Amino acid sequence: MKLRELASLIHGEIIGDESIEITGVSGIREAKEGDITFLSARKFLKDLAGSGASCVIVSEPLPDIPVAQVKVPNPQLAFAKLLEHFYVKRHGPAGVSADAYISGTARIAEGVSVYPFCYISAGVSLGKGTVVYPHVFIGEDSAIGEDCILHPNVTVREKVRIGDRVIIHSGTVIGSDGFGYVFDQGVHHKIPQVGGVIVADDVEIGANVSIDRATTGNTMIGSGTKIDNLVQIAHNVKIGKNSLIISQVGIAGSSEIGDYVTLAGQVGVADHTHIESETIFGAQSGAMGHVAKGIYSGSPGMPHREWLKARVVFAKLPELQKKVRALEAKIKELEKEEP
Amino acid sequence: MKLRELASLIHGEIIGDESIEITGVSGIREAKEGDITFLSARKFLKDLAGSGASCVIVSEPLPDIPVAQVKVPNPQLAFAKLLEHFYVKRHGPAGVSADAYISGTARIAEGVSVYPFCYISAGVSLGKGTVVYPHVFIGEDSAIGEDCILHPNVTVREKVRIGDRVIIHSGTVIGSDGFGYVFDQGVHHKIPQVGGVIVADDVEIGANVSIDRATTGNTMIGSGTKIDNLVQIAHNVKIGKNSLIISQVGIAGSSEIGDYVTLAGQVGVADHTHIESETIFGAQSGAMGHVAKGIYSGSPGMPHREWLKARVVFAKLPELQKKVRALEAKIKELEKEEP
Amino acid sequence: MKLRELASLIHGEIIGDESIEITGVSGIREAKEGDITFLSARKFLKDLAGSGASCVIVSEPLPDIPVAQVKVPNPQLAFAKLLEHFYVKRHGPAGVSADAYISGTARIAEGVSVYPFCYISAGVSLGKGTVVYPHVFIGEDSAIGEDCILHPNVTVREKVRIGDRVIIHSGTVIGSDGFGYVFDQGVHHKIPQVGGVIVADDVEIGANVSIDRATTGNTMIGSGTKIDNLVQIAHNVKIGKNSLIISQVGIAGSSEIGDYVTLAGQVGVADHTHIESETIFGAQSGAMGHVAKGIYSGSPGMPHREWLKARVVFAKLPELQKKVRALEAKIKELEKEEP
C-alpha cells in the first residue's frame, strides 16, 4: 500500500515521500524496511536510530530523520488502528459445534460460536456474536453479553453476569468461591459463597486470573477496566471504570477501587481498602485503609516522592550509622574536655 | 420465615420482635429490608448504620439500635449456617457422563458424578459422593476420597492422594513436576520428579493454585488447611493442619509449615524454611530459616512490632539524614571553638 | 539391585560393601533402609544423620559414616540419572485419539500422541514423538517440535513456535494477548497483539504460567531456560539461554534477560529492563533500567551485599533514631555551656 493511502486511513499528514510503498506495521524495535512504525515518546528516539522502518508516525515532526513521517495527534492510537486494519482476523462465526455440550435451557443468540468440548450449563445465555473457544465451562444461569470472546480453557462459574465486548483470556476463572471461613472449636468452617460476579462492558481480563464470587451480593468490575494476567480479585471487591490492574496484583476481600486507578505489577491491596479514583500504586507496593487520590510506592504504601527520598537514604543506611557512631565518639570527647 | 423459626435454627436468643418476616441472609453492606445480617466485630458498627438489614446477629446485645437482634456465641458461624440453609444447592449426583473418558481400570464409587469431557486415567479411584466437573483431568493411580468437589478445568496428575471432603477450585494443578535441575557442563539437567502429593481431609484449594509433586516422597497438605487462589507450593513442602495460606503466597521447596499458621497475601517462603505452628506472616513479607512462633512482617521477616517501628522511621529517613548532617556541622563548630 | 551394578550405572567409586542390595532411590530426608541417596552440600550432613539411607552418593568420601558411599564428580547429577533409570515411565505413544478434534490441515508426525478432548487447530504441526495430554488447545498455525510434552489443560494460542524437547505443565497459557492499550478520550483502546511467541529447544515451563504474544515481532524464550509455576512473561520479552525463572516472577513488557540469569521467587522486572547475563536477583526483589552483571536484592534492586548491610541497619532504625535524638540533646547541652 502506498503511504498516501495508509496516511488517509489514520487521517495523518505526510512529511516526506507519499508515494513509498508500505508493506508492514511494526513496533519500533522490530520494524524492517518497508514497515511503518510509531514513536510514542521522546525516550524511544534512540530505538528509531536502530530501526529499519521506512516511515514513522509522530505527534510532532522530527527534524533530521531520513525516513518519511506521518503526523497525527496520537501516534499510538493510529498504530493500533493500522494493526487492526492489516492483521486482525475476525473471530467466528463458526457456529455451535455438535461436539460441545449445550444444555437444553441455554439461550444461544444468533451469530454465536461455540467450539467443541465447551460445556454450557442450564439457564446460560450467550449474546449475539459471542465466541466461546474450546474447553470453556459456563455455569448455571450465567449470562454472557454480545460480541464477547472467551478464549480456550476459561471457567465461568454459576450466576456470573458478563457485559458486552468483554474479552477473557485462557485459564481465567470467574466466580470461584471467596476465601471465607469462620474459626470455631479449632476448625475453619466454610462460609458459603452464594453471591455472584458482575463484569461490565468492554472489560478485558488476562490469562490465569482469578475473580472470586461474593459471599453475598456481587464482586464487580466496572466498564472499560483492563486486568492483566495472574491477578487475584477476592470476594466482594468492587473496581470502578477504566482502571488498569497490572499483572500479579492481588486485591483482598471487600476492597473498593475507584475509576482510572492504576495498580502496577505485584501490588497488594489489603482487605476493606478504599482507593480513590485516579490513584496510582507503583510496582510491588501495598495499599491499605482509605487512600486519597495520589501516587504511592512502597509497602506499606507512602507518597511516591517521599518514598523515593527514603529509598535513597535506605541505600546509605550503613554510612548513616557510621556517621552517628562518629558523632557519638566526638561528643564523648567533647564532654570529657568540659571542665 | 419468621425470625423466631430462624433464630431456633441457630439456637439464638431474640432481642426485639420475634414475629418479623426474614426474607434473605446477607453481608452487612449488601443487606436490604427483610434481610438478616451479622456483626463480627465492633469496627463494622458504622456499616450497620448504613445497612438496610431488618435483623442483626450479635455476640453481645447492642443498645440503641432500631432493628431486631439475635444473640449467639459466634455470629459469623451462625451466619454461615443460615447461608448454607437458605442458599446452598447440593452438588450432584449427576451420574457418570457417557461423554467423559473413564479408564476401564478406574474405580468409581456409588453416588459419584463425572461430567462430560472429564478424563479419568487408569487406576484412579473416586470415593462415594465425589463430584467431578467438566474438563477435569485425573492422572494414573490417583485416589480421590469421598464427598470431594473438583471444579471445572482442574488437573490432578498421577500418583496424587486426596482425602475426603476436599474442594478444589478451577484451574488448579496438583502434582506438576517440581522445579528441580542439576547444573552440569553449562546445561540444567532435569531431576525427575517421581514423588507424589498427599492432600488430607477437609482441605480447600482455591483457583489457579499450583502444588508440585515431590522429587521423592510426598508434598503434603495437612487436614483442614485452606489455600487461597494463585498460591505456589513447591516440591516436598509440608504444611500442617488448619493453616491458612492466603492468595499469591509462594512456598519454596522442602519448607515445613506448622499447624494453625497464617501466611497473608503475597508472602514468600524460601526453600528449606521451617515455620513453627501458630505463626503469622503479614502480607508481602518473607520467611526463611527456622522461624519461632510469632507474628512477623517485612522482607526478610522480622517481629511485627519491631517492623512497625522501623517502618515509621523509614518514612522519616530523609529527615533523620538532615538531622545527622546538622549535628555534624554543629560538632565541627564546637570542635573549632575548642582551644 | 546390588550396589556394584548401580555404581557402574553412574560410573562411581564404591567406598564400603559393594554387595549390599539397593531397593530404592530417595532424597536424603525421605530415604529409608535399602535406599540410596545423595549429599549435594555439606549443610545437609545433619539430614544424613537422621536418614535411613543404606548408601549415599558423595563428591568427597565422608569419614566416620556408617553407610556405604559412592563417589562421583556430581552427586546430584548421578542421583538424577538413577531416578530416571528406576522410576521414569515413558510418555506415550498412545496414538491419536478419535475423541480429539484434529483439523484436516494439521500435520501430525509419526509417534505423536494426542489424547481425548484435545483441540488441534488448522495448520498446526506436531513433531515426532510429541505427547499432547487431554484438554490441550493448540491454535491456528502453531508449530510444536519433536519429543515435546504438553500436559493436560495447556493452551497454546495461534502462531506460536515451540522447539524440541519442550515440556509445558498444566494450566499454562502461551500466546495470550499482551496488555497493550492506548488511552484516548477517556477510554483505553486495545492495541491488537498480532505478534507471536517463540520457545526454543529444551525449555521447561511450569504450571499456570502466562506468556503473552508480542504486539509485533515475537516474545522469545531461549533454549535451555527453565520457568517455574505462576510466572508472568509479558509481550515482547526476550529471555536468553539457560536462565532460571523461579515461581511467581513477573517480567513486564519488552524486557530483555540475558543467558544464565537467575530470577528468584516473586521477583518483579519493570518494562524495558535489560538484565545482563549471569545476573542473580534475590527473592521478592525488583529490577529496572540497565542492570550490569551482578547479584541484587531489594526493591528497587541494589547490590546484594549493600542491601544486606542496609537491612541490618533498617531493623535497628528506632535505635538509630534514639541515638540521634540523644546526640541532639547533648549538643544543645554543650552549646549552652559555651560562653
- Maximal C-alpha separation, chain B: 101
Poorest-pLDDT segment among A164-173, A221-230, B10-19, C42-51: C42-51
Distance CA C293, CA C303 (A): 10
The type of residue at A75 is P
Nearest-by-Cβ selection for C228 from B179, B302, B337: B179
Q: How close B178 gets to chain A, by Cα (Å)?
A: 20
Average pLDDT over residues A250-274: 98
Domain ranges across chain C: 3-87, 101-304, 312-337
> Maximum Cα–Cα distance for chain C, whole Å?
101
Does A235 participate in catalysis according to the annotation? yes
Contacting residues of B for C222, CB less than 8 Å apart: none
Sort A15 into a burial class: Cβ within 10 Å, 0-12 / 13-18 / 19+. middle
What does the DSSP assignment read for A23-60? -EE--TTT--TTEEEE--SGGGHHHHHT---SEEEESS
d(C-alpha A80, C-alpha A77), whole Å: 5
3-class state of residue C7 by DSSP: helix
Distances (CA, A) of B190 to A133, C83, C101, C224, C284: 34, 11, 32, 10, 25
What is the predicted pLDDT for the residue at A260? 98
The strand pairing partners of B184, in sequence order, are B187
The residue written with cell numbers 543404606 in the block is C54
- From CA A23, how far away is CA A3, in angstroms rounded? 10
The residue from A235, A274, A290, A304 that is catalytic is A235
**Nearest-CA distance A239 → chain C (Å):** 15
Residues A154-194: pLDDT tens digits?
999 999 999 999 999 999 999 999 999 999 999 999 999 99
Asked if C314 lies within 8 A of B310 by C-beta distance, the reply is: yes
Whether the Cβ atoms of residue B206 and residue A210 lie closer than 8 Å to each other: yes
CB-nearest to A324 from C190, C284, C323 is C323
Shortest Cα–Cα distance, C182 to chain A (Å): 6
* Contact (CB<8Å) B320/C315: no
Give residue C47's pLDDT: 86
Q: Which three cell numbers stand for residue A86?
A: 492489516
Which of B26, B40, B91, B266 is the best substitution to test chain A (most A C-beta atoms within 10 A)? B266
Interatomic CA distance for residues B205 and B197, integer angstroms: 13
Nearest CA to C67 out of C38, C27, C87 is that of C38
The predicted pLDDT at position B38 comes to: 95
* Residue type present at position A280: I
Task: Give yes or no for a contact between B26 and B37, defined as CB atoms under 8 angstroms apart.
Answer: yes
Nearest CB partner across the interface for C302, out of A228, A283, A315:
A315
In chain C, residues with a C-beta closer than 8 Å to the C-beta of A327 are: 327
Q: Which of C249, A226, A171 is nearest to B248 (CA)?
A: C249
Low-confidence ranges of chain C (pLDDT < 50): none
| Angstrom distance (rounded) from CA C109 to CA C95 | 11
Alpha-carbon gap, residue A48 to A39, rounded angstroms: 8
Asked if residue C93 has a cis previous peptide bond (ω within 30° of 0), the answer is yes
CB atoms closer than 10 angstroms to residue C45: 12
- Grid cell 468409581 — which residue? B108
Please report, as a single letter, which amino acid is at residue B279: T
**Catalytic residue (one of B188, B235, B272, B290):** B235
- From C169's Cα to the closest Cα of chain B, the distance in A is 7
Under the banding of pLDDT at 50, 70 and 90, the label for residue B339 is low
Q: How many CB pairs under 8 A join A and B?
A: 198
- Chain B adjacent subunits, 3+ CB pairs under 8 A: A, C
How far apart (Å, rounded) are the C-alpha atoms in residues B161 and B177?
16
Q: Taking CB atoms and an 8 Å cutoff, what residues of chain B touch A194? A: 83, 87-88
Contacts of B85 (CB under 8 A, 6+ apart): B9
Which chains pack against C, by 3+ Cβ pairs within 8 A? A, B
Q: Per-residue pLDDT tens for A37-71?
A: 999 888 888 888 888 899 999 999 998 888 999 99
Residues in contact with A323: Cβ distance below 8 Å, sequence separation at least 6, in sequence order: B324, B328
CATH class name, domain B101-304: mainly beta
Q: Is A87 left (phi over 0), alpha (psi -120 to 50) or beta?
A: alpha
C101, C157, C171 ranked by CB distance to A208: nearest: C171
B305 backbone φψ class: left, alpha, beta (φ>0; ψ -120 to 50): alpha
Q: Distance between CA C264 and CA C269 in Å, rounded?
A: 11
Mutate to test the interface with C, among A247, A263, A304 (most CBs of C within 10 A): A247
Decide: helix, strand or coil at residue B43.
helix
In the predicted model, what is the mean pLDDT of residues B13-18? 94
> A-chain residues within 8 Å CB-CB of C320?
320-321, 324
Partner-chain residue, chosen from B195, B214, B310, that has the shortest CB–CB distance to C317: B310
CA–CA dist B222, C33 (Å, integer): 26
Q: Is residue B139 classed exposed, middle or buried when 0-12, 13-18 and 19+ CB atoms within 10 A define those classes? A: buried
Please give the grid coordinates belonging to residue A2: 502506498
pLDDT at B91 over 80: no
- CB neighbours (10 Å) of residue A32? 14
- Give the containing element (helix H, strand E) for B8: helix B3-9
The yes-or-no answer to whether C3-87 and C101-304 have a common fold is no
Q: What is the pLDDT of residue A334?
A: 84
Chain C residues touching residue B186 (CB < 8 angstroms):
242
Instruction: Give the model confidence (pLDDT) of B110-164 as tens digits.
Output: 999 999 999 999 999 999 999 999 999 999 999 999 999 999 999 999 999 999 9
Of A182, A208, A250, the CB nearest to B247: A250
Q: Does A29 have pLDDT greater than 70?
A: yes
Nearest beta carbon to residue C134 from set B119, B182, B284:
B119
Tell me whether residues B30 and A189 touch, CB distance under 8 A: no
User: Which pLDDT does position A338 carry in this prediction?
Assistant: 64
Picking from C117, C121, C141, C176 by the largest number of A CB atoms within 10 A of its own CB, the best residue to mutate is C176
Find chains touching chain A: ≥3 CB pairs under 8 Å: B, C
Question: Would you say the pTM of this structure is higher than 0.90?
Answer: yes
What is the SS3 assignment for B64? coil
According to DSSP, the β-strands at A262-263 and A244-245 are parallel
- Share of residues in chain A with pLDDT > 90 (%): 88
Q: Do C337 and A338 touch (CB under 8 A)?
A: yes
Cα(A6)–Cα(A191) distance, rounded to whole angstroms?
Answer: 58
Residue A88 reports pLDDT greater than 70: yes
Whether residue A91 contacts residue A77, with contact meaning beta carbons closer than 8 Å, is answered with no
C-alpha cell at A109: 443468540
Instruction: Give how far A83 is from chain C: nearest CA, Å.
Output: 6
Q: Which residue has the cell 449427576?
A: B94
Q: CB A184 to CB B115 under 8 A?
A: no
Residues recorded for chain C: 339
B236 falls in which pLDDT band (50, 70, 90)? Answer: very high
Give yes or no for a contact between B209 and B151, defined as CB atoms under 8 angstroms apart: no
Backbone Cα Rg of chain B: 27
For residue B87, give the C-alpha cell.
442458599
Which of C79, C271, C22 lies closest to A27, judged by CA? Answer: C271
Give the minimum alpha-carbon distance from C284 to chain A in angstroms, rounded to a whole number.
9
Q: Which residue has the higher pLDDT, C271 or A92?
A: C271
pLDDT of residue C211: 98
ipTM value, please give it. Answer: 0.95
3-state SS class at A198? strand
User: What strands lie across the sheet with B149-150, from one edge to the other?
Assistant: B113-114, B131-132, B149-150, B167-168, B204-205, B226-227, B244-245, B262-263, B280-281, B295-297, B302-303
Could you give the C-alpha distances from B134 to A131, B51, B101, B103, in angstroms and in order?
19, 39, 11, 16
Residue A298 has pLDDT above 90, yes or no: yes
Closest CA to B39 of B12, B69, B66: B69
Pairing state between β B250-251 and B232-233: parallel
Q: Which residue in B153, B116, B135, C115 sits closest to A101, CA to CA?
A: B116
Reported residue count of chain B is 339
Confirm if B136 and B154 have CB atoms less than 8 A apart.
yes
Geometric angle at alpha carbon B215, from C148 and C277, rounded to 5°: 65
* Closest residue in A to B210 (Cα–Cα): A208
- Shortest distance between the Cα of A117 and any Cα of chain C, in A, equals 7
In which residue are the cell numbers 556408617 written?
A: C66
How would CATH label the architecture of C3-87? 3-Layer(aba) Sandwich (3.40)
pLDDT at B207: 98
Helix (H) or strand (E) holding A161: strand A160-162
Q: Which amino acid is at B174?
A: I
Per-residue pLDDT, B338? 64
Contacts of B252 in chain C (CB under 8 A): 246-247, 265
Write the CB contacts of C330 (distance below 8 Å, at least 6 apart in sequence).
A331, A335
| Residue of B170, B277, B328 to mutate when probing chain A, most A C-beta within 10 A | B170
